[in-house]
């Protein structure tokens, strides 16, 4: 993979530096896609079954005129933990009379139905916050003084147990963020289900059952695992001509390794059909471990990348090679969730090192060792059947881990202590035209730099992971940029091909910043059509054909680019 410059001279070492940087960027993109395949987030479905409520739904927004009625001067909420739920009543008390919601009862003349309506509205606000077993009642009282008291019966967890059919290896202590005696909140159960179901081989649901005491409930967890081991083999043509177009990947996963709802996997990718003598080769190994702790989540990702390729010199050929190592430690926290959205924050410590060689002699100027931290947030919003994901992060390099100063710093061309903002938006919108279901998927990613960047930190466009329609052998790369991918997918169920879909897309991207002035251009637009699906539940495939729509003059790319990926999993 190469970057095209206009009017840029330089020797062989400079050209090979560019090749190395492009290979490193391609490695990062492939690694991210590979991790997505193993860490697909499976959101919990609505399998938590609450007890049937006999509380009437408060759909009226005006108090009925009744006789007799009593002027209300104050309303209080009493009972165990009433202080924690006072907000539900206070929000109603703070309303005026000119509102499309139930107005404040203060100054109103309420009868039995009006008081019951007020209690139902307070209870519904509490239930909307996730406390689905808590109840608000009207106790016997004399309200002739105008002072109304509502009674709160908080819903609590009395016991937690696994069902008789659950596997013996099931454990909940680090997955379920609720204990006996806690207030029962459906959001805690949803978080627990996500922690259970994050393992693809696990099926879990939680039943809420009435307990022996009023307001108390038992949680019955059904947890089953089909098998703890997964294997996946993948064959594709996502490699580079310089190190081998065809690649094979073998991944081994252990789900629930330490019976802590944890995930471990290792994978190895290797170019296939290497040249004579093994001079053309690329190898990529990845290790991942992650574990949940209630609303917290910790993960470790490590990877190594090695490659070599023959280079023709003036008098003889030589072998140019490189190796890089990466390590990420990430701690995240689910800070908020309700029925329509989730919001999480994270911090990450990262380190990476790369070295390059010509015939086993190291090129000292290309030795990189960097470390730093990253912080950001992830937000998911459910809008009807559509899903919207937002991400924003800030990445900064430091001098940790004996970081080496980048040679580019002498010329203000880059730094080993970068400061980078990154953002992404992903939307998935299902709809239908007639009887044909369609799904729109849109992805926007962007990067802004606060310092000059070395090539490994720059933003690139062109290829199957960014702007489709281009081979990826040549890219546009600069300090900052964005790309937008648009896709319409058409499931083929009506043709008797369930599990298969045809898709078409148009992508665009743009780069800018300090290094963009040397490029042949700054923008790419491409198109793609393809077919993907699964066979016999064990084989996943994708075939596509892309075509450039707009590119800079002189930018080398085929008039059409095809590609494929075939995976087999057990």
What pLDDT was estimated at residue 9?
Answer: 39
DSSP state of 364: G
Q: For the beta carbon of residue 54, count every other beta carbon within 10 angstroms.
A: 6
Q: Provide the pLDDT confidence category of residue 379 given band limits of 50, 70 and 90.
A: very high
Distances (CA, A) of 270 to 172, 282, 308, 382: 38, 6, 12, 39
Residue 81 confidence (pLDDT) above 80: yes
What pLDDT was estimated at residue 281?
Answer: 84
Q: How far apart are CA 250 and CA 273, in angstroms?
A: 16
What pLDDT was estimated at residue 518?
Answer: 87
Helix (H, G, I), strand (E, B) or coil at 310: strand
Q: Provide the pLDDT confidence category of residue 7 given band limits of 50, 70 and 90.
A: very low
Alpha helices (H) in 56-132, listed in sequence order: 86-93, 112-128
Q: Phi/psi of residue 409, each to 5°? A: -65, -25
Asked if 393 and 421 count as a contact pair (C-beta separation under 8 A), the reply is yes
What's the gap between Cα 112 and its chain centre? Answer: 50
What pLDDT was estimated at residue 278?
Answer: 62
Q: Which two tokens stand for residue 30?
A: 């492939």
What's the gap between Cα 562 and its chain centre? Answer: 28
Q: Which two tokens stand for residue 185?
A: 């909140």
Q: Provide the pLDDT confidence category of residue 39 given band limits of 50, 70 and 90.
A: very low
Asked if 177 and 294 count as a contact pair (C-beta separation under 8 A), the reply is yes
Alpha helices (H) in 147-218, listed in sequence order: 186-197
Of the candidates 459, 330, 450, 570, which has an alpha carbon nearest to the alpha carbon of residue 29?
Answer: 459
Asked if 305 and 324 count as a contact pair (C-beta separation under 8 A), the reply is yes
Q: Which two tokens stand for residue 525?
A: 């637009």
Q: How far apart are CA 53 and CA 153, in angstroms?
A: 14
What pLDDT was estimated at residue 47?
Answer: 34
Q: How far apart are CA 335 and CA 519, in angstroms?
A: 43
Q: Looking at residues 254-283, what average pLDDT do you find? A: 85
Residue 415 confidence (pLDDT) above 70: yes
Residue 536 confidence (pLDDT) above 80: yes
Q: Which residues are bridge partners to 456 per DSSP?
A: none
Q: How far apart are CA 134 and CA 526, in angstroms?
A: 55
Residue 40 confidence (pLDDT) above 50: no
Residue 153 confidence (pLDDT) above 50: yes
Q: Looking at residues 209-235, what average pLDDT do you find? A: 94
pTM for the whole structure: 0.88
- CA R_g for the chain: 30
- Regarding predicted confidence, which is higher, 485 or 3? 485
Residue 31 confidence (pLDDT) above 70: no
Asked if 24 and 2 count as a contact pair (C-beta separation under 8 A), the reply is no
For helices 86-93 and 112-128, angle between their N-to-C axes, nearest 10 degrees: 120
Q: Provide the pLDDT confidence category of residue 14 given band limits of 50, 70 and 90.
A: very low
- Regarding predicted confidence, which is higher, 309 or 497? 497
- Regarding predicted confidence, which is higher, 325 or 244? 325
Asked if 176 and 294 count as a contact pair (C-beta separation under 8 A), the reply is yes
135-137/156-162 β-pairing: unpaired
Query: Could you read off the pLDDT of 279-315 as tens digits, one per residue?
Result: 678 888 999 999 999 999 999 999 998 888 887 766 7
Query: Could you read off the pLDDT of 177-200 as tens digits, one per residue?
Result: 999 999 999 999 999 999 999 999
Of the candidates 94, 11, 100, 109, which has an alpha carbon nearest to the alpha carbon of residue 63?
Answer: 109
Q: How far apart are CA 431 and CA 419, in angstroms?
A: 40
Residue 69 confidence (pLDDT) above 90: yes
What pLDDT was estimated at residue 48?
Answer: 35
Whole-number percent of the chain with pLDDT over 70: 88
Q: Looking at residues 376-395, what average pLDDT do you find? A: 97
Asked if 48 and 193 count as a contact pair (C-beta separation under 8 A), the reply is yes
The top-scoring range by mean pLDDT among 37-51, 54-68, 391-405 is 391-405
Q: How far apart are CA 545 and CA 556, in angstroms?
A: 17
Q: Looking at residues 127-151, what average pLDDT do you find? A: 95
Q: Which two tokens stand for residue 310?
A: 């023959």
Q: How far apart are CA 332 and CA 369, in angstroms?
A: 26
Asked if 134 and 120 count as a contact pair (C-beta separation under 8 A), the reply is no
Instruction: Answer whether the bond into residue 311 is a cis peptide, omega within 30°.
Output: no
Query: Could you read off the pLDDT of 158-174 as tens digits, one per residue?
Result: 999 999 999 999 999 99
What pLDDT was estimated at residue 53?
Answer: 42
Q: How far apart are CA 418 and CA 138, in angstroms?
A: 62
Q: How far apart are CA 559 and CA 546, in angstroms?
A: 9
| From 89-103, 347-361, 420-434, 478-492, the region with the lowest mean pLDDT | 89-103
Q: How far apart are CA 411 and CA 409, in angstroms?
A: 5
What pLDDT was estimated at residue 473?
Answer: 86
Q: Looking at residues 339-351, what average pLDDT do you find? A: 96
Of the candidates 466, 470, 439, 460, which has an alpha carbon nearest to the alpha carbon of residue 546?
Answer: 470
Q: Provide the pLDDT confidence category of residue 275 given band limits of 50, 70 and 90.
A: low
Asked if 192 and 175 count as a contact pair (C-beta separation under 8 A), the reply is yes
Instruction: Answer whether the bond into residue 68 is a cis peptide, omega within 30°.
Output: yes
Residue 5 confidence (pLDDT) above 70: no
What pLDDT was estimated at residue 248?
Answer: 94
What pLDDT was estimated at residue 101?
Answer: 85
Terminal Cα distance for the chain, rounded: 33
Q: Which two tokens stand for residue 357?
A: 């060689």
Token pair 């992508």: residue? 507
Of the candidates 44, 78, 23, which has an alpha carbon nearest to the alpha carbon of residue 241?
Answer: 23
Domains along the chain with CATH numbers: 70-153 (3.10.20.310), 380-570 (2.40.160.50)
Q: Phi/psi of residue 466, each to 5°? A: -125, -95
Q: Looking at residues 426-432, what average pLDDT do you find? A: 97
The per-residue pLDDT of the chain, averaged, comes to 88
Q: How far apart are CA 313 and CA 321, in angstroms?
A: 15
The top-scoring range by mean pLDDT among 41-55, 314-328, 358-372 is 358-372
Residue 247 confidence (pLDDT) above 60: yes
Residue 465 confidence (pLDDT) above 60: yes
Q: Which two tokens stand for residue 205?
A: 């649901």
Query: Could you read off the pLDDT of 95-120 as tens digits, one per residue?
Result: 876 667 899 999 999 999 999 999 99
DSSP 238-297: -SBTTTBS-EEEEEEEEETTTSSS-EEEEEEEEESSPPGGG-SEEEEEEEEEEEEETTEE
């Amino acid at each position: 993979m190469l970057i095209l410059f206009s009017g840029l001279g330089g020797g062989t070492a400079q050209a090979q530096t560019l090749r190395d940087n492009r290979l490193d960027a391609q490695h990062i993109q492939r690694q991210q896609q590979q991790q997505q395949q193993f860490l697909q987030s499976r959101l919990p479905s609505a399998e938590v079954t609450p007890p049937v409520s006999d509380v009437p739904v408060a759909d009226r927004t005006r108090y009925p005129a009744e006789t007799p009625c009593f002027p209300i001067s104050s309303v209080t909420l009493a009972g165990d933990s009433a202080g924690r739920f006072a907000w539900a009543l206070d929000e109603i008390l703070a309303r005026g009379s000119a509102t499309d919601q139930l107005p404040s009862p203060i100054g109103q003349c309420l009868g039995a139905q009006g008081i019951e309506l007020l209690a139902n509205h307070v209870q519904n606000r509490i239930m909307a916050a996730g406390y689905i077993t808590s109840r608000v009642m009207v106790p016997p009282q004399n309200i002739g003084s105008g002072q109304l008291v509502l009674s709160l019966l908080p819903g609590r967890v009395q016991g937690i147990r696994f069902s008789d059919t659950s596997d013996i290896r099931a454990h909940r202590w680090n997955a379920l963020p609720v204990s006996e005696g806690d207030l029962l909140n459906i959001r805690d159960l949803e978080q627990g289900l996500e922690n259970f179901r994050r393992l693809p081989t696990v099926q879990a649901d939680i039943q809420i059952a009435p307990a022996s005491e009023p307001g108390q409930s038992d949680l019955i967890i059904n947890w089953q695992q089909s098998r703890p081991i997964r294997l996946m083999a993948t064959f594709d043509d996502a490699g580079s001509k310089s190190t081998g177009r065809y690649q094979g990947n073998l991944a081994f996963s252990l789900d629930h390794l330490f019976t802590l709802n944890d995930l471990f996997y290792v994978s190895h990718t290797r170019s296939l059909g290497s040249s004579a003598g093994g001079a053309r080769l690329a190898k990529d190994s990845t290790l991942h471990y992650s574990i949940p702790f209630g609303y917290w989540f910790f993960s470790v990702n490590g990877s190594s990348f090695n490659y070599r390729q023959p280079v023709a010199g003036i008098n003889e050929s030589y072998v140019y090679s490189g190796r890089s190592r990466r390590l990420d430690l990430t701690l995240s926290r689910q800070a908020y969730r309700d029925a329509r959205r989730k919001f999480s924050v994270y911090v990450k410590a990262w380190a990476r090192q790369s070295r390059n060689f010509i015939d086993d002699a190291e090129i000292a100027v290309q030795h990189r060792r960097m470390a730093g931290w990253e912080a950001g947030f992830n937000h998911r919003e459910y809008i009807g059947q559509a899903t919207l994901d937002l991400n924003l992060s800030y990445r900064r390099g430091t001098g940790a881990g004996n970081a080496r100063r980048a040679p580019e710093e002498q010329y203000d061309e880059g730094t080993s202590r970068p400061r980078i903002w990154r953002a992404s938006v992903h939307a998935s919108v299902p709809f239908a035209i007639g009887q044909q279901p369609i799904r729109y998927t849109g992805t926007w990613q962007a990067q802004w730099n606060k310092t000059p960047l070395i090539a490994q930190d720059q933003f690139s466009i062109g290829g199957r992971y960014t702007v489709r329609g281009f081979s990826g052998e040549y890219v546009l790369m600069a300090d900052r940029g964005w790309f937008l991918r648009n896709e319409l997918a058409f499931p083929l169920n009506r043709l008797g091909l369930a599990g298969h879909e045809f898709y078409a897309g148009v992508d665009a991207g743009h780069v800018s910043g300090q290094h963009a002035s040397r490029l042949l251009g700054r923008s790419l637009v491409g198109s793609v059509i393809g077919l993907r699906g699964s066979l016999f539940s064990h084989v996943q495939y994708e075939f596509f054909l892309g075509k450039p729509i707009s590119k800079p003059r002189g930018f080398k790319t085929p008039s059409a680019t095809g590609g494929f990926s075939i995976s087999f999993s057990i």
